[in-house]
Structure 1
Amino acid sequence: MTDLPLTGRARPDRRPHTLAEWRALGGYEAVERARSMAPAEIIDMVEAAHLNGRGGAGFPAGRKWRFMPERGTSPGEGPSYLIVNGDEMEPGAFKDRFLLEALPHQVIEGAIITARGTHADEAIVLIRDEYRPGIAAVERAIHEARDAGLLGDLTIRVHPSAGRYIVGEETALITALEGHRAVPRKRPPFPAQSGLWGRPTTVNNVETISLVPHILSLGPQRFRALSRTEEGGTKLYGVSGRVKRPGLFEAPMGTTARELIERAGGVSGDGQLRAFQPGGGASGFFGPDRLDLPLDFGHVAKAGSMFGTGMLIVLDGTACPVGFLARHMRFYARESCGWCTPCREGLPLVAKILDRFAAGQGRRADLELLQMTAAEAAPRGRSFCDLMGGAMAPLASGLSMFAAEFEARLAEGERA
């Protein structure tokens, strides 16, 4: 169980534990330890554990927490907030659903400790509305923990999300929680300075929060040692697409795609790996030559893609990469908030062009426009938030890796 801190206590049938069952497995012992520690000591442990956020950006969790002001030192009146983000919308991602449904007490335990470390008075667990079993499990866990006096003076509640991909951007999430249209905010000020209702706010992913109790239980050095790289702990990887047994696999941070695909039963279809996305739908493609690359934020970024959620999407030799990209782009075009021109105008246009290519109706001018758009829009910072860059990353790498397929579809269009 120590080697699998996130999933080692999960039931095979995924039924959530009762409070009594969870405590019999050592649950909430880390909370008792946290109560004897100053907030700065908790942050010290998280920083020493080298825990990076698991929501996609990979920002060091402890460093993020240090931005939060101590109680009574922020201007104005009102609570400070912790938001646990379980609004999982990334194509290919399903790890947070498992943690919410099968291990809700682990999420609440992590939220209690994180709230203490960040001086938060109130915690909100934001859960994708379609995850109804997860919502019910977390609400039940909160009720049990509150009745047992485990929450202390922390207020914690569940907020079902309206279900928009843009809410993965933390300032858009905050705007949505305030009852407004989900659009990103200009930074600075950052959420730790002015977040929900203008109050100091920390936003962390469900998986990040779930790992926090294990840092206190194991100690930062043992937690770091679970990883194969400098980024501490284990990772809940996912493998989907053209594999025989899609699923979730907890493994040391830095595990390779080769190992994960083998655990998923190997490549299905023709059995030949064509390409894979290492970090969900917003990550650039890797070919078979990257099968032995350690999968963490640093190694994947250095190799030219994004680790993101750590959810691998596999394409075999029979998959149609052009159609795959077209489906992806329709998703991003639909999920854009429409705030800035590159997303509002660019994504629907790119989706329409890719649909033409997938139907064998592409034109040379279309291909040139795709190449120009990918080159101009893929770099981060070309739009108000990172949604455009994330949408363009698979397109930019796909135009290069699957050039022959695009040329073949182009030839079909020219013959038509």
Structure 2
Amino acid sequence: MNVKDIIIIGGGAAGFFAAVNIAERNPRLTVAILERGKEGLQKVKVSGGGRCNVTHAEFIPSELVLNYPRGEKELLGPFHQFMTGDTIEWFEKRGVALKIEEDGRMFPITDSSQTIIDCFLNEAKKHKVEVLYNESVKKIEQSSRNEAVDFEHRFKIETQGTTFYCKKLVIATGSNPKIWKLLEAMGHGISEAVPSLFTFNIKDERINDIPGVVAQNVAIKVVGTDLFSEGPLLITHVGMSAPAILKLSAFGAIELAQRDYKFEIEINFIKQSIEDCMGGLKDCKLTFAKKTVLKAPQFDLPKRLWQKLVLASGISADMRWAELNKQQLENLSAQLTKAIFKVDGKSTFKEEFVTAGGVDLKEINFKTFESKLHKDLYFAGEVINIDAVTGGFNFQNAWTGAYLVSKAI
């Protein structure tokens, strides 16, 4: 039998952050992490292409919460307690300096996720946090008064080989269906998990053979819904990706799952009305009369994308601007501002698995991240029904939740 003051289930970002902060704030407590894998912090390792996108340079809580399709309302208070600036300071105090990239994402200046992993492992060792690997939790229950341990140790946790008892329990297992089932058995409501960050699979002549092309600022909507996003668009070997798509996938996670990832999107490649576009093309017809349309890209579009859209408008490869008729101008305007693409399926975005779903937000006290159903049971990270767009926001939710848990404990 193994008795601890605090047990954290899950050795990922939220689990380590909670454990280290608890042990540092109160060195008398015995703190242990139970991790099912043979090593922890695996998501930290692969995040940001192995560089670890620690957080995002957004320093206003009311602006930061807009990046959370689920959790926007609930995180406003917590972000006033522990925010991006606090994250930066926490890591810098422990020798890890962060840098801001052009798009606002923040990484360790070493550009290596190992820096973050080493920081956590060193802090855990320094503050005597016991990290137990290959401990897959099979059962969680509240211990009864007659068990061979004082009633202060209210939780009983069974793994494949050991029974643990603890006074306070922190669940930081991320999107783990097995743990959600155990929590359901304890009476917690679980919102069904669906993928939240994914790219769109699209087979279309207009984007065939041009992977790697980026349209810098597009507007996209999912036809027949209110889902809308703006930003860069990347054409890939299987379809489309980059922030404009990933934002749609996050905010539309539930609706797009219900459609079995078969739907249509309308893309405005130049963020102009069809009328303004038409006016611009008429000007081009006069200004570039003798030039070949295919070889004269407009609206700052990448050349290869422009050429695909021109050909899709029924304009031949050798046609000059002066030769365009009204119908061809209208077709090109439509391709530039209202292009419809059929999405058929999704692909995982890099290795960054993010899901919508988890412990029902109404069952959590967001001042402390404690369960409203069970005293001394806490949650941190993606185990709860909070998720974010890509860019370091999911980690910020983990740091904030874990910090408030540690403060409460």
Which category describes the TM-score, using the shorter chain as reference length?
A: under 0.3
The answer to which structure has the higher helix fraction is: 1
Please say which structure displays the higher CA radius of gyration. Answer: 2
TM-score, normalised to structure 2's length? 0.26
The answer to which structure has the higher strand fraction is: 2
Question: Which structure is higher in RCO with an 8 Å CA cutoff and minimum separation 6?
Answer: 2
